[in-house]
Amino acid sequence: MNAIDNKWIGQRTIRPDGADKVTGRAGYSADNAMPGMIWAKILRSPHAHANIRGIDTAKAAALPGVKAVVTARDITEFPVDTPVMLGIQDMRWMSRNVMAREKALFHGHPVAAVAAISEEIAAEACRLIEVEYEVLPHVIEIEDAIRPDAPLLHDFLRHEGKPSNIASTMVNKLGDIEAGFASADVIIERSFKTRPVHQGYIEPQACTVSCTADGKVTIWSSSQGQFMVRAMTALLTGIPQSSIRAIPAEIGGGFGAKTVIYLEPIAVLLSRKSGRPVKMVMSRDEVFRATGPTSGSMSTVKIGAKKDGTIVAAQGTFHIQAGCLPGGPVRGPVGCSFAPYEIANVLSVGYDVVSNRSKVTAYRAPGAPLGAYATETVIDELAETLGIDPLELRLKNSAGKGTKAAYGAVFGDVTFKETIQAIRNHPHYAAPLDRAPAKGVRRGRGVASGFWYNAGGESSAQLNITEDGNVTVTTGHPDVGGSRASIANVAAELLGIDHSRVSVLIGDTSSIGFSNLTGGSRVTFASAMVVTQSAEKVITQLRERAAKIWKIEPEAVAWSDGEARPAGANAGQFPPLTLKELAAKANEMGGPIGAGVQLTTTGADPGFATHVVDVEVDEELGIIRVLRYTAAQDVGRALHPDYVEGQIQGGVVQGIGWALSEEYLYDKQGRLDNASFLDYRMPVCSDVPMIEPVVLELPNPKHPQGVRGAGEAPLVPPLAAISNAVYDALGKRFYSLPMSPPKVMEVLGG
């Protein structure tokens, strides 16, 4: 697909961080250590829901080796009636999530923390902390939480004027929904349930923090945004941002979940109290119990169409789990579910529902997979009812230029149709499928599509020419998915130099300008934009230097293939000056060469994806396996194809787990019952086939390289695609996930 004549953009160059990662040298969060460092542990609530009457830390503080103890009293209190927004996060809730204040809201909610000279002593001290709990009735599931007699988590939440566990409501509306359904020939309405799933990153949260006697704080931790770490820590500790330096470690996966913090403010307070550097590392058990996951959901989707397949009305009601504090990804299902389609009448309503679970965090295309699961299943049923091929039905109704989406956007040159056509024309879609290869074995094929907004936002970059004529590029974004490799390709391309001469680094909060989170499929879009503008400024400087040396006008100098060349009337008059030659003369001819750009980027275009999948069902044991999977997506431009393909493959694999095996299971006391990789069943390599990505490159005209974004859209279609394929195999529909073996056997009966 590399239609443009690029030397580096679109090439599969070796990633800058690759050697360190494969040789084990890369420094992740837990790899840092400091002289004099002590260890901290968190005491967590043993109850799913309880008032905290009192906390006595005296015995813990008196244990030899203990250096500091903190509770919620040490953390900034934000009154519940005034929002304190930081991006999409409300610090009122973040404060209470990091450490329980009035109430313990889930089993595993932090209640206190201790720093001591060893992990063992810190853990022993936690056991010595006496907490007086008043245990309250708890509620875990959505359907229980929204009952009128449900135990209420927060007395300050109101829904329709009454105390409620529904924290907020979101409505997207277009046209006249009732008139729309009245004009429909066929209406299909179905209800769906999904379970919470964890992002499943390999690296547990960890940090090392040093708070010095003069009040300066340094934080080493991995996250999806060092500036987020700094800002949240500042708000939760009252320390000004200028006194905090957040240094990003290599990150071992985030998938959205590391867009918030858990440990850093606690470690800062413990370090300030003790005067010692403090290290904290979560166990896997703590990661499962108290970070993430994303929401479970309860949805109803109703779609009406004409006999010819024209969709005339669509209505969605989405109850989304927030966890124990408000802030579930309601915008995902409400806005994304119907966005791929041109529908005149839409009513999409979402409810943010709290319950006694850990507070949810973002997970790739937050909330969108939940909505697409419902919508894309109903569309599959609609296609069957109307006798229209499911891809043709999607094509007929696909959004295009000028389509107004219910969430408010009027689309420009969107490329949903192209993803459908790519799957329709792919050999997979036409390949013969042996539907009953053996007794008790059935196979089926399914399709589904998905949408994600994509995003721009704040980014900063600095591009410097070294004295020996090479290049360093610094951005402010943690590299979760290969962004350094993509940026190296862009910088080498623009400067016309060999890729190996470009070094790409991630700056800390004191060395580079503000940069927003790595998330929402925005980083390659935004950082390529600021790096491009920085490179253009540097090229201007280089042309000016050459012009000065040649004593001609800068406009008469062209930059090409890594060297300045006299152009126009002066062409051929002087031998070209290479980057190395210009760098050698830089200091005598005007000073160091380099430029930085800080920008709120705009122009992100939405991402669309269409997937086709073949599954095989063992009818005797209820085991579903994915046999073949093809995923088409328009990414605008794949700056580095390996990492675009990796995004698509990774998203699909996560979708397979979500559809078939992953779920949070709670016991009757409201405790998570499967807080380990053994019993929280993410797919392993042998569970998934090689996912075939079909990378479409239809350039985004508003981006210098045409980038749209890649990371979110691939996780939107898989839940419905797999469910539709299972229906195709068995002739029975599933309306809840995961389609685990016991559930499959229940549906099959017998």
Furthest-apart CA atoms within the chain: distance in Å: 90
Residue from 144, 176, 418, 687 that binds another protein (CB under 8 A)?
A: 687
The number of angstroms, rounded, from the C-alpha of 683 to the middle of its chain's C-alpha atoms is 19
Stretch near another protein under the rule CB under 8 A, chosen from 379-387, 478-486, 503-511, 734-742: 734-742
Q: How far is the CB of 91 from another protein (least distance, A)?
A: 35
Q: How far is the CB of 194 from another protein (least distance, A)?
A: 17
Q: How far is the CB of 201 from another protein (least distance, A)?
A: 17
Q: Which residues contact 642 (CB under 8 A, 6 or more apart)?
A: 12, 15, 482, 485
Residues 103-122 that bind another protein (CB under 8 A): 120
Task: Fill in the amino acid letter for 448.
Answer: A
CB 227 within 8 A of CB 86: no
Q: How far is the CB of 441 from another protein (least distance, A)?
A: 12
Stretch near another protein under the rule CB under 8 A, chosen from 71-79, 242-250, 525-533, 620-628: 620-628
Q: Helices 390-397 and 368-386, interaxial angle, to 10°?
A: 110
| Radius of gyration of the CA atoms of the chain, in A | 27
Task: Fill in the amino acid letter for 481.
Answer: G
Asked if 159 interacts with another protein (CB under 8 A), we say no
Tokens matching residue 679: 């019993």
Stretch near another protein under the rule CB under 8 A, chosen from 332-340, 391-399, 414-422, 615-623: 615-623
Residues 645-664 that bind another protein (CB under 8 A): 661
Residue from 623, 627, 642, 689 that binds another protein (CB under 8 A)?
A: 623
Q: How far is the CB of 673 from another protein (least distance, A)?
A: 5
Stretch near another protein under the rule CB under 8 A, chosen from 129-137, 241-249, 568-576, 678-686: 678-686
Stretch near another protein under the rule CB under 8 A, chosen from 54-62, 396-404, 461-469, 737-745: 737-745
Stretch near another protein under the rule CB under 8 A, chosen from 307-315, 484-492, 616-624, 645-653: 616-624
Q: How far is the CB of 679 from another protein (least distance, A)?
A: 5
Q: How far is the CB of 652 from another protein (least distance, A)?
A: 17
Helix or strand (DSSP H, E) at 585: none
Output the DSSP codes for 115-135: EESSHHHHHHHHHH-EEEEEE
Stretch near another protein under the rule CB under 8 A, chosen from 408-416, 627-635, 722-730, 735-743: 735-743
Q: Which residues contact 345 (CB under 8 A, 6 or more apart)?
A: 174, 175, 176, 177, 179, 180, 181, 312, 313, 314
Alpha-carbon distance of 7 to 446, in angstroms, equals 39
Q: Which residues contact 350 (CB under 8 A, 6 or more apart)?
A: 169, 170, 171, 317, 318, 319, 320, 330, 331, 333, 334
Q: Give 124 or 185: the residue with its C-beta nearer to another protein.
A: 124
Residue from 19, 679, 701, 732 that binds another protein (CB under 8 A)?
A: 679
Q: Give 134 or 620: the residue with its C-beta nearer to another protein.
A: 620
Handedness of CA 7, 8, 11, 16 (dihedral sign): positive
Asked if 665 interacts with another protein (CB under 8 A), we say yes
For the purposes of burial, counting CB atoms within 10 Å of the CB of 201, is it exposed (0-12), middle (13-18) or buried (19 or more)? buried
Asked if 175 interacts with another protein (CB under 8 A), we say no
Site size for another protein (CB under 8 A): 23
Q: Give 258 or 443: the residue with its C-beta nearer to another protein.
A: 443
Residue from 620, 669, 701, 732 that binds another protein (CB under 8 A)?
A: 620
Residues 304-333 that bind another protein (CB under 8 A): none
The number of angstroms, rounded, from the C-alpha of 459 to the middle of its chain's C-alpha atoms is 17
Stretch near another protein under the rule CB under 8 A, chosen from 73-81, 379-387, 395-403, 742-750: 742-750
Q: Which residues contact 278 (CB under 8 A, 6 or more apart)?
A: 37, 38, 39, 40, 68, 115, 208, 209, 210, 267, 270, 271
Asked if 741 interacts with another protein (CB under 8 A), we say yes
Q: How far is the CB of 659 from another protein (least distance, A)?
A: 13
Residue from 6, 168, 510, 674 that binds another protein (CB under 8 A)?
A: 674
Asked if 384 interacts with another protein (CB under 8 A), we say no
Q: Give 246 or 739: the residue with its C-beta nearer to another protein.
A: 739
Residue from 17, 31, 90, 124 that binds another protein (CB under 8 A)?
A: 124
Asked if 681 interacts with another protein (CB under 8 A), we say yes
Residue from 683, 704, 717, 718 that binds another protein (CB under 8 A)?
A: 683
Length of the chain, in residues:
750
In this structure, the number of other CB atoms found within 10 A of the CB of residue 396 comes to 17
Residue from 621, 669, 701, 732 that binds another protein (CB under 8 A)?
A: 621
The number of angstroms, rounded, from the C-alpha of 23 to the middle of its chain's C-alpha atoms is 27
Residue 491 in 3-state DSSP? Answer: helix
Residue 609: name the closest of 706, 516, 478, 721 by CA: 721
Residue 745: name the closest of 648, 623, 580 by CA: 623
Asked if 284 interacts with another protein (CB under 8 A), we say no
Asked if 622 interacts with another protein (CB under 8 A), we say yes
Residue from 54, 148, 686, 731 that binds another protein (CB under 8 A)?
A: 686
Q: Give 41 or 258: the residue with its C-beta nearer to another protein.
A: 41
Residue 548: name the closest of 511, 579, 585, 506 by CA: 585
Tokens matching residue 640: 């580095």
Asked if 171 interacts with another protein (CB under 8 A), we say no
Residue from 678, 690, 731, 749 that binds another protein (CB under 8 A)?
A: 678
Q: How far is the CB of 46 from another protein (least distance, A)?
A: 16
Asked if 742 interacts with another protein (CB under 8 A), we say yes
Helix or strand (DSSP H, E) at 655: helix 641-660
Q: Give 194 or 486: the residue with its C-beta nearer to another protein.
A: 194
Q: How far is the CB of 622 from another protein (least distance, A)?
A: 7
DSSP E strands, 544-669: 557-560, 563-566, 577-578, 594-601, 607-618, 623-634
Asked if 281 interacts with another protein (CB under 8 A), we say no
Q: Give 554 or 622: the residue with its C-beta nearer to another protein.
A: 622
Residue position matching structure tokens 């299972």: 726
Residue 491: name the closest of 454, 554, 539 by CA: 539
Alpha-carbon distance of 13 to 638, in angstroms, equals 12
Residue 504: name the closest of 481, 485, 519 by CA: 485
Q: How far is the CB of 727 from another protein (least distance, A)?
A: 20
Where on the chain is the footprint of another protein (CB under 8 A)? 120, 124, 620-623, 625, 661, 665, 673-674, 678-679, 681, 683-684, 686-687, 740-742, 745, 750
